[in-house]
Structures are given as structure tokens and as C-alpha cells.
Structure 1
């Protein structure tokens, strides 16, 4: 499993919102809550750790962006996210610098 983690770590990057829009349009973006490690979530998804992923979904720690979130982010296309591609998904997590711009939103189910 360390090989998967190392491979994913190499692909962990910062992405501006406008780079993520095409992935949103194909319903591939999954938001990872700030209290989870983006790389841990990527490893769990890549290694089919269904129990962890189901737990995070049920606790709304990973979720699809809501219409309200998309509207806020569409108004700021230079907003930055930590991003990790785990086919077919693009996992994103707001960086600390942009967390206050999130607004009060309810997560949409995955």
C-alpha cells in the first residue's frame, strides 16, 4: 500500500477553481473535509477501502459540492484548492488561506 501512497503523493497539487470546472461538469469532483488528510482519502479510494469511504460519506466528511458552493466558487475562479486525482474522481480540499471564503453551505451527498 505504500506504493499507492507514494504515487498519489507525487500527484498531490494545488489547483485553481477554473482548472477544476471541467471536472465539476462531469460530476467527478469530491470535496474532502478539512479534518481529513487528502492523501489518506485518496489511498482509501484507490485501494477500495469501502468501509472507510462509506464512513466518511455517512459523516459528510467527503461529499459532492452543493449548488451554493459551486455558485460561490464560480464567482472566484482563482480560488485555490489542494487537489488529488484518483480516477475517476478529483478530490479537492480548500486550502487554509481560502477556507473563510467557503460560506455556510450544506454538503451534497456523494
Structure 2
């Protein structure tokens, strides 16, 4: 997937740090996708935007992109991490916990 610098910048500009309590309603609706720390959140969002089903399936098969689990939600609710980053690619919200943040 080739993403123009302009498209990358637009997605990056829509990405931001977020509190778990803001993400909870999305989790409750089943609209929250977790992006593994080793993936680029913006690249994952671009693949979703471009409906790159082959890449999305590969990430899902590798468990690098998945619907948020009850265990993850419980962990975030308990810890209230300050290193969650998210971007909306309707109808999904992609979230990534940044390692080392």
C-alpha cells in the first residue's frame, strides 16, 4: 500500500491521545479495533480507509488488528493508561497503546 504524504498527514492530524472512558462507548458497541504496538496506527487506519481487505485480513490473522476484548477493556479501565492513541475510520475507532509512552 502506498500512501501519499498528504493522506498520511491528514490521518496523522486526526489521530490523538485519548482516555479510556472516552473509548468505552465504542467498545460497548463493538466498534473498537486494537492495533498492535508494532504496527503503524496511521498505516492501519489508511488500510481501513482504502478497504484493503487483504492487508486487514493478514493483520487480523496475525492478531495485530482485532476487535477489543473484554480483558483489554477491563485492563484499561483498571489502569487508566495515558498512552492510548486513537483515530476514527467510520464505523470503527482504532486504538493503540503506545509502548514506552
TM category (shorter chain) comes to 0.7 to 0.9
Does the Cα contact within 8 Å between 1:17 and 1:73 map onto a contact in 2? yes
State the partner residue of 1:16: 19
CA pair 78-94 structure 1, distance change in 2 beyond 3 A: closer
C-alpha separation in 2, matches of 1:81 and 1:26: 19
Unpaired stretches in structure 2, ≥5 consecutive residues:
none
TM-score (norm 2): 0.86
Secondary structure of the structure 2 residue equivalent to 1:63: strand
Residue 65 of structure 1: which of 64, 68, 71 is its match? 68
**Structure 1, gaps ≥5 residues long:** 99-110
CA distance in 2, matches of 1:28, 1:4: 23
1:105 corresponding residue in structure 2: none
Q: Secondary structure at the match of 1:69?
A: helix
Structure 1 residue 38, shift from structure 2 partner: 0.2
Aligned length: 98
Paired residue secondary structure (2:39): coil
Name the residue aligned to 2:8: 5
8 Å Cα contact 1:17-1:80 kept in structure 2: no
